[in-house]
Amino acid sequence: MVVSTPPRVEFADLARGEGLSLTLGPLDGRYRESVAPLVDFLSEAALNRDRVHVEIEWLIHLTRHSVLPGAEPLEDQQEADLRNIVSTFGADTIAELAEIEAVTVHDVKAVEYFIGRRLESIGIERLKPLVHFGCTSEDINNLSYALGVKGAVHQVWLPAARELVAAIADRARESRQTSMLSRTHGQPATPTTLGKEFAVVAHRLTRQLDRIAATEYLGKINGATGTYSAHYAAVPQTDWQAVSRSFVEGLGLTWNPLTTQIESHDWQAELYADLARFNRILHNFCTDVWSYISIGYFTQIPVPGATGSSTMPHKVNPIRFENAEANLEISSGLLDTLASTLVTSRWQRDLTDSSSQRNIGVAMGHSLLAVSNVVRGLSRLDVADDVLAADLDANWEVLGEAVQMVMRAESIAGAAGLDDPYERLKELTRGQRVDAERMKDFVRGLGLSPDAEHRLLHLTPADYTGIAAHLVDHLG
């Protein structure tokens, strides 16, 4: 038998020849629109822009404070011209940096040379030796990554995640009174309300958002092995720790006084662990919602013109939650890897962090995509009140807990004939369904006080939700 194979097209060559964008990863292809805002902070171009920013601010910092003899403060226009290099960073800059790096085979050195080229047009070419002064590449990289990650978290990921949590909280408030059968171990259990269950998730996610929002972004600028050796060899009279600290803090970061060649990345590991935990809580929410859809608690509002199945036209699949599950798993796996890899460096420096950190955008991108999908999925859900009510009415045995506790309370109060309440309810309810009449007959035969009997005879599974509705108020 001859197996037919499709003709092989050299897509890479085709893309180069036709100016096409043929991507290897889905975040830059199919899902580009959902994650595009991260490109401004965590792409290669954004990293280079931030490197240029850090190098220029370091140059300005050194001159403003007259750190080196002969390097007096610049004129206001000269500082503005330097900063304009960053504000006009665009396609031409990216191309020029790539051209320089093709010769240097070193990305940070390419940035140094690129800035050096610009000093002549500003009229300060004599300050070329001050560009990258006292710096190792990691002085620039650690600060650039910190700025990029901070920007991505605070300006893109956190706003999207807060929008999601707000949507879940809104659902909690809307359905706070909607009684629902609980399922512990997958079995019918003490009823709750749908809103209270949504509130639990919103509360859990909010705690993680608070941790993420409080992240400290550390930075350092202290030379090849963190000792300021070159700084003091060149300019021994300067307090270089003070210069370093004021510069790092001026960038809006927390100064790390003790490092090797690299900033130790512990803050990154802490952040990625929190992001991964948020992901996993959200993943749990997705699987729960998917399960509730499968038993009919939610109906999905069809998207006009959309196809649920290529052969079964009746289907409306929970694809937003399934897509989110997959992307949350990918994101968490990458975040776990980053968190474990970045805290380790052989002796004073190795390059494992360099390759690892290039995947920060990928890890956050899959999380952002998942968040977007859950928001969209929630907007297409309707609560099937009739299904929830029927499920409760079919499970009167869940009142066994209430009856047992009333029997215990009555027994403590001195009522006779109420021994072994748990065992008696176990005999009535375990492994079998109990309807309303059977439960009420059981209650009538217990010999309870009139008040206790009245309460139990008027209790239904839908009413047996305690203060679930009020607990939603904890969301604020």
Question: What is the set of active-site residues?
Answer: 185, 309
Of the candidates 145, 44, 33, the one whose C-alpha atom is nearest the C-alpha of residue 95 is: 44
Helices marked H in 32-75: 32-35, 39-42, 44-64
Tokens 């309460």 sit on residue: 455
Tokens 């002969």 sit on residue: 70
In angstroms and rounded to an integer, the radius of gyration of the C-alpha atoms of the chain is: 31
Q: H-helix or E-strand containing 83?
A: helix 76-87
Angstrom distances, CA of residue 409 to CA of 89, 402, 414, 420: 74, 11, 9, 12
Report the distance separating Cα 277 and Cα 156, nearest Å: 18
> Which string of DSSP letters, residue by residue, matches 116-145?
HHHHHHHT-GGGGGGTTTT--HHHHHHHHH
Residue 188: beta bridge partners?
Answer: 183
Report the distance separating Cα 114 and Cα 109, nearest Å: 8
Query: ∠ CA 430-434-436 to the nearest 5 degrees?
Result: 150
Tokens 């959309």 sit on residue: 306
Report the distance separating Cα 8 and Cα 448, nearest Å: 82
- Enter the tokens of residue 463: 């009413």
Tokens 């370091």 sit on residue: 58
- Enter the tokens of residue 285: 């929410």
Report the distance separating Cα 413 and Cα 321, nearest Å: 51
- Enter the tokens of residue 239: 């307090």
End-to-end CA distance of the chain: 68
